[in-house]
Each structure stands twice: as structure tokens, then as C-alpha cells.
Amino acid sequence: MAHNTSRIAIVYATAQGSTREIAAFIGDCLTARGATVEVADAEHAPDLSRFDVVILGSAVHNRALLPALTSYVDSHRDELLARDVWLFSVGIGPALRGPIGTFFGRAVPNQIRVVRDQAGAHAYRAFAGHYERAGVSLGARTMFRLLGGTRYGDLRDWPAIGTWATSIAML
Ligand SMILES: Cc1cc2nc3c(=O)[nH]c(=O)nc-3n(C[C@H](O)[C@H](O)[C@H](O)COP(=O)(O)O)c2cc1C
């Protein structure tokens, strides 16, 4: 488990950068608590032999983690299973409101469940990310509204992310 002398690798996949910023923020929280942290994207991940704990994170596209993260998990399965692993995703789910939005926002997509289990993650947490109206198709915008999406833009909840990071540091 993580503790203040842990060596922690944070490995992420991003399309537009918001997951990278969340990974860096989690890294700062854990460094402030005394851990030795390295943050890298999945294509430049460090050798895991130097780490006790791995935090995996990815943006969600079409109810799935990005291919860079899923192939990383696939090709490092044994190393991950031998370590303490946590998984987070970044999408719109946690920002959805109302009964339908809350239901869909809490559901863990099948593909994410599979990756979580492959990596042997202790826990999986979904965070709200960054969702711009511009460039989103009319169909996707309508679906977003129907599912309880109320606003666009930067939906990240930094205090919630900090609390999650701290909970890992305290285990
Ligand atoms: C093409 C596309 C598909 C998306 N599909 C989903 C989805 O299925 N579920 C979800 O929760 N968020 C979805 N999102 C929202 C983003 O993943 C989210 O805004 C996230 O912050 C992006 O992270 P990034 O900046 O690290 O790429 C989608 C975004 C894009 C651009």
C-alpha cells in the first residue's frame, strides 16, 4: 500500500490535456505527502521495477479508456499485478445531474471494468474533465442534455481529486 515513503508512478493517456493536468496535480499532492513520484504518459512510462505503487489514468472516449492506456495495461499486466494499482478516468459522467444523469454517471462502462480488473486495481474513480461545446455534434450535444449535462467547459473538481490522491497517500 502507499505510504509517505512510497515510490509512485502515475501513467496517463490524454487526448486534449486535461488528464495530464489531473495526473500532475495528483503527483503534486502525493509529493507534498512525502512520496517519490514520477508522472509520464503511457508511451513514455518509466520502468516499473523502481515503483511500489502505480496510478493509471485516462480520458474516456466512447465509453472506453484511450487505446494508449489499454495497450499499456495489456503489455504490463504482470508488473501491474505485482504492485498496488489505482485507476482513474476523466470524462463527463461525474458532471451529469438528475436521476438519469446520476445513473449513467455512476455506471462503470464494461471496457473500463475489464481494464480495471486486468490491472488488478484496488479501486477505480471517475473524475469530471473538460468538455467543450464547440466541435461536438448535434447528436452528442442532445445526448449530453438528455443525460443531465448542464454546462460545458472545464468541469474538473480539484478538491475531489485532491481528496482521492490524499486517500491513496494515507493507505
Ligand atoms: C470524441 C470524444 C468522445 C468522448 N466520449 C466520452 C464518453 O463516452 N464518456 C465520457 O464520460 N466522456 C467522453 N468524452 C469527454 C472527454 O473524455 C473529457 O472531456 C475529458 O476531459 C477529455 O480528457 P483529455 O483532455 O485528457 O483528452 C468524450 C470526448 C471526446 C472528444
In Å, what is the CA distance from 90 to each residue of 6, 15, 21? 25, 11, 11
CA-angle at 54, arms to 49 and 58, nearest 5°: 130
Q: Whose CA is nearest to atom 31 of ligand 1?
A: 61
Q: How far, rounded to the nearest angstrom, does the alpha carbon of residue 91 sit from its chain's CA centroid? A: 9
- Summary mean pLDDT of the chain: 93
Query: What is the mean predicted confidence (pLDDT) over 140-161?
Result: 92
Q: With pLDDT > 70 as the criterion, what percentage of the chain qualifies?
A: 96
Q: Is the CB of 131 under 6 A from ligand 1?
A: yes
Q: Is the CB of 89 under 6 A from ligand 1?
A: no
Calculate the alpha carbon distances from 133 to 94, 130, 141, 149, 166 in Å: 17, 10, 7, 11, 32
Q: Check pocket membership of 101 for ligand 1, CB cut-off 6 A.
A: no
Say yes or no: domain 7-170 is CATH 2.70.70.10.
no
Q: Indicate the residue type of 134.
A: A
- pLDDT over threshold 70, residue 54: yes
Residue among 82, 22, 30, 84 nearest 57 (CA): 22
Give tens-digit pLDDT for 113-139: 999 999 999 999 999 999 988 888 999
